[in-house]
Amino acid sequence: MKITRLITAVVPVLLLTGCTFGSSIDSLMTPPKLSVEQQQIYNALTDATGTSISLKYPKSGKYLSAFIIDDIDGDGGNEAVVFYEKNSIAVEENTLRINILDSSGGNWRSVCDTPAKGSEIEKVMISQLGSNERVNLIIGSSLINRSEKNVSFYTYSNGKIEETFSSSYSFMDVTDLDGDSQNEFLFLEGSSMGSFAKANALRLDSDDKFHTFVCPLDGNFTEFDSVSYGTIPNGRTAMYIDAFSGTGLIQTDVLYMDEMGLQKVFPDQSESFSTVRSAGCSSFDIDGDGTIEIPVQTVAPGYEEIPESEQLKITEWKTINNDNVLEKKYSSYYSINAGYIFVFPEKWQNSVTLRRDPINDEIVFYAYSDGSLQRELLRIYYAEDEISRDDRITSGYMLLHTKGESSCLALIPDDSSQNTDGLSLSAGDTAICFRFRE
């Protein structure tokens, strides 16, 4: 079974002190020290361009350096791809550029230079596509505010670089979508004035011809939170697309690719619409079985008549059944901010609710029947430092997870005599039910 998770970066809100809005990220950080080989490449670059340049660094993906050293023409030897911008040139000129350098006898030299779209490098991928053996240099770029993104394909051969494809995009990936051991290029486009959100798959045949497969998405998606890949009942690998609908909420659509192109999994839009939930609550394989679960939030028992801003939610993890309809697999409490999930054991189903203890800053689980709280079953505390962690351990809490200075701990009440409802947990039960999203 194949499963991969890919996260797209939704534009963060930066609180800048003493900085000019519009400054690029590159100008706000100290460039990393160059290796010996990178310094040689940089010297060859400045011999060709002059020294009035600034290196540009991709924001995400496998390649995070301004220097990419790889075989981009398939000749068995490595070339260097460098991203940079010229300083002090006319505003109307495009400042972002791509330079290709080749080596001979251990000496690097610039062989071609071309402008790139946008002003920032978002992501770089190097891959063959479909049945074609040519190497594609795939570059995602954006304007400085990252609101508009463009992807371009380049091929390099005999000292020349050529753009072969270009499109706007919101998310992109290279992967084998249809299971034929050949990669496709996937790119998603958000809805805009006069157009709907859609998924596109691009395949390149042996005659250098692109074949594009398009599928509309089920929501008024403006941006994409994440894309996960997992097995569906027909045995194929599907893409689970978590996207923002324009209201700040997330909705999931599920597609797969076969010989005919991109196909929808859900029989109608209602299944996708039923997945709307809070931001940050993204799909993933919660139990490691190779299938993706979609989290859907419901109001916890006892909170039905309380204002929404004060409600606590139970997260139900839903999976796709043989009829391509969602069905509940697990119920849980999901702390999006702390990153942990506590999956309810089967005996807790429809018999447990939760409360927030503001004094101790804990989530408390209670038995619940006849519309009222019964006995306390479990407490979970998220410690942000070692002092708080050690204090809880001294008080009898068990350590569930630690990452850096942060920890998750649980306290199980010592009330075995009151377990007439059969809802008590052992330490082993508690550990098994706990999950932490890395």
Write down the pLDDT at residue 420: 82
Averaged pLDDT, 391-405: 95
Using alpha carbons, list the distances in angstroms from residue 390 to 10, 117, 189, 438: 36, 53, 48, 23
Average pLDDT taken over every residue of the chain: 89
Q: pLDDT class for 8, splitting at 50, 70, 90?
A: very low
Determine what percent of the chain is predicted with pLDDT higher than 70.
91
Following DSSP, what letter does each residue of 110-146 receive, concatenated? EEEEEE-SSSEEEEEEEE--TT----EEEEEEE-TTS
Averaged pLDDT, 357-376: 94
* Residue keyed to tokens 């350590």: 399
For residue 105, give the 3-state DSSP assignment: coil
CA-nearest of 140, 60, 48 to 99 is 48
Q: What is the pLDDT of residues 65-111, one digit of tens each?
A: 999 999 999 989 999 999 999 886 555 555 899 999 999 888 999 99
Residue 330 · residue 317 · CB < 8 Å: yes
Q: What is the pLDDT of residues 271-293, one digit of tens each?
A: 999 999 988 899 999 999 999 99
Q: pLDDT class for 22, splitting at 50, 70, 90?
A: very low
Averaged pLDDT, 12-20: 34
Residue 340 · residue 401 · CB < 8 Å: yes
Q: In this structure, are strands 4-7 and 223-231 parallel, antiparallel, or unpaired? A: antiparallel
Q: What is the pLDDT of residues 123-173, one digit of tens each?
A: 999 999 999 999 999 999 998 777 789 999 999 998 999 999 999 999 999
385 pLDDT more than 70: yes
